[in-house]
Structure 1
């Protein structure tokens, strides 16, 4: 009997980097979007939210016995870790930021064991008629995680749990400006941040140790890619290198 297809748009396609299946509605499909994967379809009502697999691990938000929480599952659908109250949604560099039901917060490994504990602020999203999972901010990239330790307060942690204090006067870019999608992770050793002054926003970059590497002087800026980032400075579009040197789009087009 052919499996009934569920309609909707497959979410987080770019992040489904292994296990050959996509997060889709309340379960997982194989690449043909017809064949259920990981969890039998008749068990999907327990999954109120699913997140993409990374390195044979996925976070799922479940509703069983009138209790909502996250679980970590493997590609066979086996539960690796449960009783997670809030989560970052998926693993990054082998670690996942969580708040457990017993109140502990920090990062767990792929076995569900705590690697280190640190404060994490939990976001509770309200949406009429729908239960939304509580989420925390904390994704590793280049060996460092950008962690929201309290509401709109940030810090950097390495994988040993060492903390780097956030510089004064700047915020994580995508937290300060909701429509700006960059500034979530380090790229080319730098993280996009924003500074608010006199009702305007100016963008710059900090390094792995939370030091301001490129001052907040740009009207627009994006993540680095291959050691360059697109910016706008004094109304002029261009790019900068990791040292902060500005090259206007016009000069680049003219080969200067």
Structure 2
């Protein structure tokens, strides 16, 4: 009888997972950015096309001849390429978000993006368009007007005399943040801050300049030292840093000392958390994850005052990757997972596993791909990393019900 019960239990464990929703396709383990889950839409690349599934409406769309990794996707917006030109679109809408066709677009910087458009006809020229998600067009300026605003005489630069989008992309691909844009000055060796009308926001030229965050921007002076200024150009944190400091988040910014150790300053420039970490995330909602220097030191979770809470492992590897442009300017997915989802994805011998904040392993195995933990669901590939696609299983897994919400599968001839 005992043997029969054991056989039944073993058979139950071997039963295939039955998902609520079955879709045709698979995930790409080799290129993780070819699949995205954002809390509403599941995107994946299958046979050269992008497939998008809306879990709220159960609608599905296909973007032919596009891989997810090339869409510049964020929060339902993406760029579709045709005849070497890009149009900004939104999932489920037939018409483009903007009437422009761009020759080049930057990645999303937060919720803003910059595109360069080449116009023919009566208004012929190269135009830069700054767009903010949910707000619309912030500014649209012709390249020659930007040249004039910064005092750059392109006619004296033989290698940049053409007013084309390549020149624009090379010179002026700087992002808008908190009402101001960083642009190079006429000598291209210093930078200043400009408003959306291309007027210099305040006097001052800097060797390097970073976008504003929480009202402060890191800038580098002629002595090669970094400090912070406010939106009036006033120095708020003195120029004492040799290494570029970080952006402010939750009132804290990362700084690196001469021993390459990381600490945190507040908006007054006071070192409120000592520089003793070999690596650390930015703060997010008052929390950060840091690794104290030393191979035998536990990773810790920090609060704004530097109080430490040990993580459950010593040399564990944070596994989440965002693959987004400008990711270094924003809190990492790891600390967001910790705060918002109360879980962490950890790397184990090139594969991944999921843990709770208390250190409990959620699954009894490791996976070649765990990705995009949002609203209690994540992308999962089950099977050996080097296994053939037909020997792997592809899920959008729901942690609350501990079952697959969506399974992808396919057949081959």
- Hey, which of these two has a bigger chunk of helix by percent? 2
Give per-residue Cα distances to partners, 1:31-85, cap 9 Å, x unaligned. 14975443444xx4xx344454888x753346789xx987345656973364257
SS in 1 for 2:249: coil
Equivalence for 1:133: none
Q: 1:160 aligns with which of 222, 225, 232?
A: 232
How far apart are the structure 2 equivalents of 1:64 and 1:207?
46
TM-aligned CA distance change 1:141 to 1:78, over 3 Å: closer
Give, in whole Å, the separation in 1 of the partners of 2:244 and 2:88: 34
Q: Which residue of 2 aligns with 1:93?
A: 178
Matched, 1:38 2:123: no
The answer to whether 1:237 aligns with 2:299 is yes
Q: Which residue of 1 aligns with 2:15?
A: none
Offset, 1:206: 1.7
> Is there any run of 5+ residues in structure 2 with no aligned partner, and where?
1-62, 148-167, 314-356, 360-413
How many residues are aligned here?
Answer: 212
Greater strand content: 1
- Paired residues of 2:237 and 2:269 also in contact (CA < 8 A): yes
Is 1:71 aligned with 2:128?
yes
> What's the counterpart of residue 250 of structure 2?
188
* Separation in 1, partners of 2:87, 2:191: 28
Residues in 2 aligned to 1:53 and 1:219: alpha-carbon distance in whole angstroms = 27
> With structure 1 as the length reference, what TM-score do the two structures score?
0.64
Aligned twin of 2:201: 115
In 1, are the aligned partners of 2:225 and 2:240 still within 8 Å (CA)? no
2:33 alignment partner in structure 1? none
CA 1:158–1:11: 2 relative to 1, 3 Å: same
Secondary structure of the residue aligned to 1:236 is coil
CA contact (8 A) 1:156 1:163 kept: yes
**Does structure 2 conserve the Cα–Cα contact (< 8 Å) formed by 1:99 and 1:120?**
no
Deviates more, 1:71-80 or 1:149-158: 71-80
**How far apart in 2 are the matches of 1:153 and 1:214?**
21
What is the distance in 2 between the residues matched to 1:190 and 1:72?
A: 32
- What is aligned with 2:192? 106
After superposition, give the CA deviation of every residue in 1:124-180 in whole Å (9 maximum; x if it has no partner): xxxxxxxxxxxx64211111112244696422111111123545355235xxxxxxx
Whole-angstrom CA distance in 1 between matches of 2:126 and 2:214: 29
Would the alpha carbon gap of residues 248 and 93 (structure 1) be closer, same or farther in structure 2, given more than 3 Å must change?
Answer: same
Counterpart-to-counterpart distance in 2, 1:28 and 1:141? 29
1:163-182 maps to which residues of 2 (within 5 A)? Answer: 163-166=235-238, 168=240, 171-172=243-244
| 8 A Cα contact 2:312 2:358, kept in partner | yes
Give the whole-Å Cα distance in 2 for the aligned partners of 1:101 and 1:49: 24
